[in-house]
Amino acid sequence: MSSNDRRYVEIANLTKAYPNPFGRDIEVVKDFNMILHKGEIVSVIGHSGCGKSTVLTMVAGLNPISSGSLAVEGREVSGPGPDRAVVFQSPCLLPWMTTLENVMLGVKQVYPHGSKKERKQICEYYLNLVGLGDSMKKYPGEMSGGMQQRVGVARAIALKPQMLLLDEPFGRLDSLTRMDLQDVILDILDREKITTMVITHDVDEAIYMADRICMMTNGPEASVGQILEVPFSRPRVRSDVLDHPNYYDFRFALISFLEKQEHSKEAHDQMIEEKLRQPEPPALVEAKVVADSLPASGASF
């Protein structure tokens, strides 16, 4: 199989421009080039406001492109569809529906000919997969943010998508919940082999989850700065990843890239903070503790 055949998403010279009533159009993203292979997990990292989400929404078809080309499975993207499931930063559950009904909403669209019972079984299967087997009758208002995001993931996966687009899915969660959910998603992705694009601004998350990391330059006119291959084997075990001799090299590469991009003072401060965490990163300590206390989370792959 040549590498050409494995291409799933092809993005070439992608540009997004927003009209500016008092001057030239503002090009948020310009000449963005990237190829995603089938079954690959790619994370896109960059400073906030650099246009990561714009790229993702364009791939999802929620946002029309200005110029360039964007093809999924060899076809130009013309609009959204259930073949490209999206998990948004906020869970986006419909608060007047139970967990089950929220997942059912998508399942009904994808399996229009299935019987009611079959559809329900599908919903229950995916809800069990994200560990919500006992919360199917609950309303979103009765659940924590982490649980709501799990429902969001279940709703996306239940569509049997060819591609999964994750838009900072853990952005609003605390670090413990975040690691839990990262493992849940990785577990599912290892089983289903779905091509995935993860937007994040967390360096550790990017390394842990992705096969390749796409680093974006700062906007406007953001494009791909560097691409980093992450050669860790799958399924991934958090403690192994953290103990890997190259882990800190990757981390350093990412941070130094991001630092270079940084000009404004505010984000500069953030960088210093990041540096201070370097010798003994607290998130890492946390991660280790969790990995120790929950051996099953790693061993279950």
Partner 1 sequence: MSDQTPIEKIKYGLLKTIDVSGFKVFDPVVRLFFGEEPRKQLGDISRYMIAPIIFVCCCMLFWNFIAPRHKTKSGEVPTPKQVWNALVTNDTLDERENEKESDFQLSDEQREDTIATVTALVAEREKKSEELKAELAEIEAQCKKEQGEALEPLNQALAQLKAENKKLRESRAAESAKISKAIAAKEADPEKLLEYLRNDSEMTLAEKDSEKELKDKIKKIRDEEPKRLKAAQLASSQVANEVQHLKKRLDYLSTGNRSQKVAQAEESATKALGSLSSADSPAAILAAAKSVVKSEQRASKISEQEYPRAATIWFQVWRSLFTVFVGFVLAAAIAIPVGIMCGLNRIAMACLTPIISVFKPVSPVVWLLIFQIIVGAFFPNPDTHPLFVFLNGLPWIGALNVNPALIFSACTVAMCAVWPALVNTALGVSSVEKDHLNVAKVLRLGLWSRLTKIIIPSSLPLVFAGLRISLGVGWMVLIAAEALSSSDGLGKFVWDEYQNGSSHSFANILLACFVIGIIGFFLDRFMIVLQRSVSFDDGAATV
Residues within the interface to partner 1 (CB under 8 A): 60-62, 79-82, 84-86, 88, 90, 92, 94-97, 105-106, 109, 139, 141-142, 159
AA identity, residue 277: R
How many whole angstroms separate alpha carbon 130 and alpha carbon 223?
Answer: 34
Enumerate residues 6+ apart whose C-beta is below 8 A from 46.
Answer: 52, 201, 215, 216, 217, 218, 222, 225, 258, 261
Closer CB to partner 1, residue 53 or residue 217? 53
Count H helices, E strands: the chain?
Answer: 11, 10
How many whole angstroms separate alpha carbon 247 and alpha carbon 243?
Answer: 7
Q: How far is the CB of 77 from partner 1 (least distance, A)?
A: 13
Helix, strand, coil tally for the chain in percent (to 5): 40, 20, 35
Q: How far is the CB of 81 from partner 1 (least distance, A)?
A: 6
Closer CB to partner 1, residue 82 or residue 281? 82
Closer CB to partner 1, residue 106 or residue 298? 106
Closer CB to partner 1, residue 65 or residue 86? 86
Q: How far is the CB of 6 from partner 1 (least distance, A)?
A: 25
How many whole angstroms separate alpha carbon 146 and alpha carbon 164?
Answer: 19
Q: How far is the CB of 107 from partner 1 (least distance, A)?
A: 10
Q: How far is the CB of 41 from partner 1 (least distance, A)?
A: 20
Q: How far is the CB of 57 from partner 1 (least distance, A)?
A: 8
Closer CB to partner 1, residue 70 or residue 86? 86
Long-range (24+ apart) CB contacts under 8 A made by 240-244 are: 240/298, 241/207, 241/208, 242/284, 242/287, 242/288, 242/291
Closer CB to partner 1, residue 197 or residue 207? 197
How many whole angstroms separate alpha carbon 223 and alpha carbon 201?
Answer: 16
